Amino acid sequence: MIPDAESAAPSDSPPPRSGWRSDKVVRDGAVLGVAVGLFGAAFGVLAVDAGLSVAQTSAMSLLVFTGASQITAVSVLATGGTMLAALGGAFLLAMRNGVYGVSLARRLQVRGLRRLLSAQLVIDESTAMAIAQSDDRIARRAFWATGISIFVAWNVGTLLGAVTGDAIGDPERFGLDAAFPAGFVALLMPQLRDRATRTIGFVAVAIALVAIPFVPAGLPVLLAAVAAGLAARSVPSRSIRDGAS
């Protein structure tokens, strides 16, 4: 069994280790990509069933590229909802990517064309993979590797699903709907060992749980983000003392 580098390597680990660690982030990104590809196929089937053409379905995955928003939009339309409800719901879900972007900027350090390209890849998976790395260089590699792997897989999956109708079947049959949250837990775990971060995480989780029954999809996460932001300002943390010393 390969030891987990997060616990084994200090943040100022020497360069030889980081190459080894880089291979690991590329591999983990590819694993997520495979799962995302199957959901892409499911989205393709769903979108064509909801009345979109194959071209429209693929355009959505290429240009919108944020899975939860896309699935919500076509689901609302498929169940007879209005266009405004479909787009509003999708937008609420897309807004969290903006929160990720604010936080990722300091680690990615991208400018110009690279910033325009990297923006399209700012999603749950690439963010989770990047923030799980203690070294900024590896975080950048994790972001790009995961973002590109998922972009390719999501779009290939979408096209296959849209063209074939139902070639792969329901990804939930394989338990893949549990794979994503569990994968995120694995990526967050090292940081949840820090008490201040854990406290703020609990605040976010509690707000999201309470909000789910009462507000539209997307808002629980945004409310949790606001609460966590306020909590992070007031909870004393180790990093603030490190910063002051």
Among positions 131-170, residues that touch another protein (CB under 8 A) are 131
Q: Is 71 in the site for another protein (CB under 8 A)?
A: no
> Using the rule CB under 8 A, which residue among 20, 82, 116, 169 binds another protein?
116
| Angle CA 171–177–178, to nearest 5 | 135
CA dihedral (101, 105, 108, 113) in degrees, to 10, reads: 80
Query: Residue 182 phi/psi, 5° resolution?
Result: -65, -40
39 binds another protein (CB under 8 A): no
245 lines the binding site for another protein (CB under 8 A): no
- The span from the CA of 193 to the CA of 189, in Å, is 7
Residue 86 vs 150, nearer CB to another protein? 86
Question: What's the start-to-end Cα distance of the chain, in Å?
Answer: 38
Structure tokens at 7: 């616990």
- Decide if residue 217 touches another protein (CB under 8 A): yes
73: contact with another protein by CB under 8 A? yes
Distance CA 65, CA 52 (A): 16
Residue whose CB is less far from another protein, 103 or 164: 103
Q: Of residues 26, 99, 152, 163, which one binds another protein by CB under 8 A?
A: 99
Residue 11 makes contact with another protein by CB under 8 A:
no
Q: Is residue 201 within the footprint of another protein (CB under 8 A)?
A: yes
